[in-house]
Amino acid sequence: MSKKLGKILVGILIVACGVCIGGQACGLLPGGLSMDGWWTVFLIVPGVLLLACVGLNAFDALLTGLGVLFLLDEQGVLGGSLGYRLAIPYGLVVIGLAFIFSQRKPRESVPSSRGIFAGSSETLCFAVGGSNSRQFQGDSFRSGLLAISVFGRTCLDLRSAQLTEDSVIRLCTVFGFAEVLLPEGLHLSISSFPVFGRQINAYVPATDPNAPVITVKSVTVFGGVSIQ
């Protein structure tokens, strides 16, 4: 899905919700719309946006799938709390597939996390309700790194990293903030999808036309991204 099409779909969804709520308030539409499970929107929407804009990832699939299961259960589509009972099997299947198809390489890292649920792996840096700061030295950085901030803050410090080829960083913030600190001598390409969010770019790109390109892809939902 392209960024433009994604924005159009999100806009249509917001307009439709506004029309439905307004129509019910004015008595023009029936007021029987169930709001059970409304909180699952905070799982489904970021998951879908992330899948659409920055590619498939185990966390994206887990977030979206759990949100859908919980919503179906809350709406009564799945009886007997089946949605909640399927959550653990679904999570195990997704994690198992991620282990099967992932290719991991040893590297050195200096993570610093302080949150309710925060941590780091070779391809993931996340913080939920707290902060997670990650420093990269030498050739420790791997292209495709995903940083997720949910009611928290993540910081990716690449100022001491050696980037000799084109690389990609993916960011997702939901009521959170993500900061990327880049070394000098790079070209920067940005692909952003803000939903009531903002992005600040203070990085000065290289003048060398042959310098590596680092691409930052971000989805921001009521959050912010800073690149320096």
Query: Which of 30 and 47 is assigned the larger pLDDT?
Result: 47
Q: What is the arithmetic mean of pLDDT over 17-45?
A: 69
Token digits of residue 124: 């993931």
- Tell me: pLDDT of 137 over 70: yes
| pLDDT for the residue 216 | 93
For residues 37, 7, 63, 148, the Cα torsion angle rounded to the nearest 10 degrees is -120
pTM of the model: 0.60
- Tell me: pLDDT of 135 over 50: yes
Cβ-count burial of 33 within 10 angstroms (0-12 exposed, 13-18 middle, 19+ buried)? Answer: exposed
Q: How many CB atoms within 10 Å of residue 79?
A: 8
| pLDDT for the residue 189 | 92
Residues in the chain: 228
For residue 37, give the 3-state DSSP assignment: coil
